[in-house]
Amino acid sequence: MCLQRWSFCNLSVLGKEQVNHSWKTYFLRRCHLETKMTKGQSGGYTCKSLRGHTGRVVGLVYVQGNSVQQPDLWNSSATVCSASTDGTVRAWNVQNGERLWCSPVQSPLTGIVSDEQREVVITADSTGLIKTWQSQTGQELASFSTASPHCTLLQYSINNDWFVTVGTSQGSVCTLVDLTLTKKSSIVVCDTFRVNILLVSPDKKWIAAGTKDNDDLSPKVLYTESLTSPSEDKDPLCQSVPVTGCQAAVFIPTQPARLAIIHQDQHPNNRALTVFDVSIKKSKYKSEIQVQQVEFFPLTLNLWRSDILLEAKDSNHIVLAAGEQLWVYSLKGILLATFKDHTLPISSISVDSFRVVTASQDLSLRVLTWRNDRDRGLTLESQYHLLGGSHTMSRAFTHVACDYSSIVASVEETGPPPRPAPLATSWHPGTALTASRMVASFGFSTFLTLQSEPTEP
């Protein structure tokens, strides 16, 4: 019963010392929690305002979350780190809203990623300084200067080896190894244009890199081994993808190396989605990257140049957000669902095996859940809004992230910076979330047992 409903779960740990519950207890518990999450009724959510940043939040990441793949539904501890233009990284306890640590002030931060397994946070600032931090203590571990005012960060591990690949504003991709951030290689992929697309394939053999800032350039596929273990007499192995004007890209999570790209199609305002399989052909004297098209279909977005957000749920479901709308496509190009729940553009989305959460400039979060339909197969259903305050004080939601038990979102304020508010604040609609430069944490009261009062969603 459990595996039919939640095939992604690791049920082997049930009954062990760390998860002393039977599969029956797990089944009932998870059904109860998902019912609460789907309905979003009064009392289903509580909210903590994680206030303290005096600059705009540029990113937030879970560094210790409740993974949807793990069946321990009784351990609700979660930690989130946020980076800000105030030059600090801050760690927060999602359950009680407490700030755990704050880094020393440096140049304005521009990006943040994390590695939950190693408990490490990686940041970039406006001078191109890359730093690693111990996520539980805030201790700085290492730093490396790229001299780039814009950096795109990508962290991944291959076997027991740890890497960070950085895309710079000069169009190069630099790969650093170990927590010491030792430089291993560098290659130019889009000369003079910043690298703002940087992805690693599920099998970790390929990195996709490109820019959204030039419609005449093609994204590149790089052989990871040639970046992490470069040859002295050979450049890293690189191959252009045969499309131009890339605006969004994602690797399909259930495939070793299947890449979906949204790009221009014939006319500047037309867009298409093309899916490629990436492989390598080795001979006695050389190796060649092969990029083979497997699917192509036009997109009827009817939008001017707008930021496009693209995520993949599994081998057959693509989630696409642009403007105020959300679309769900199959990989064959069949439009499965479309939603227009927001009145202003969607700024961020979070997709997992249970739900999709969209954050919008209209200061609301929309929760949608996946459901298996007997006739239509897997479908996405729009459920409810979580409101984020008043436009007189706040401009928009800018980022959203989720684990199984909570939603964390950042709000950008209007007007001059306020004094930092108390760190732990109950969410009462229209009041606590109207302050800016903070991270708002939404948790399920029945799960997280937060002590704040139940509120209307």
394 has pLDDT over 50:
yes
Q: How far apart are alpha carbons 57 and 412 in whole angstroms?
A: 7
| Mean pLDDT within 196-209 | 96
Residue of 201, 26, 77 lying closest to 450 (CA atoms): 77
DSSP characters over 393-420: TEEEEEEEEE-SSEEEEEEEE-SSPPPP
Q: Could you tell me the sign of the dihedral formed by the alpha carbons of 423, 428, 434, 439, in that order?
A: positive
Q: What is the pLDDT of residues 139-173, one digit of tens each?
A: 999 999 999 999 999 999 998 899 999 999 999 99
Write down the pLDDT at residue 452: 26
| Mean pLDDT within 250-269 | 89
Residue with tokens 């192995």: 237
- Where residue 198 falls (left for φ over 0; alpha for ψ -120 to 50; beta otherwise) is beta
What's the chain's average pLDDT?
83
Higher pLDDT, 235 or 255: 255
457 has pLDDT over 60:
no
| Mean pLDDT within 92-114 | 94
Write down the pLDDT at residue 108: 97
| Helix, strand, coil % over all residues of the chain, rounded to 5 | 10, 50, 45
Write down the pLDDT at residue 373: 79
Residue with tokens 């459901």: 371
Residue with tokens 């989605």: 273
Write down the pLDDT at residue 305: 56
- φ and ψ of 448, to 5 deg: -80, -15
Write down the pLDDT at residue 60: 94
CB 48 within 8 A of CB 97: yes
Among the ranges given (9-13, 214-218, 254-258, 354-358), the one the predictor scored with the smallest mean pLDDT: 9-13
Please, which residues bridge with residue 276 across strands? Answer: 259, 293
Helices (H) and strands (E) in the chain, counts: 4, 32
- Scanning 298-403, the segments in alpha helix (DSSP H) are none
CA separation (Å) from 243 to 97, 158, 266, 333, 412?
Answer: 46, 29, 11, 18, 35
Q: Is 42 exposed, middle or buried (0-12, 13-18, 19+ CB in 10 A)?
A: exposed
CB 261 within 8 A of CB 251: no
Report the range out of 8-17, 34-43, 63-72, 83-92 with the highest average pLDDT.
83-92
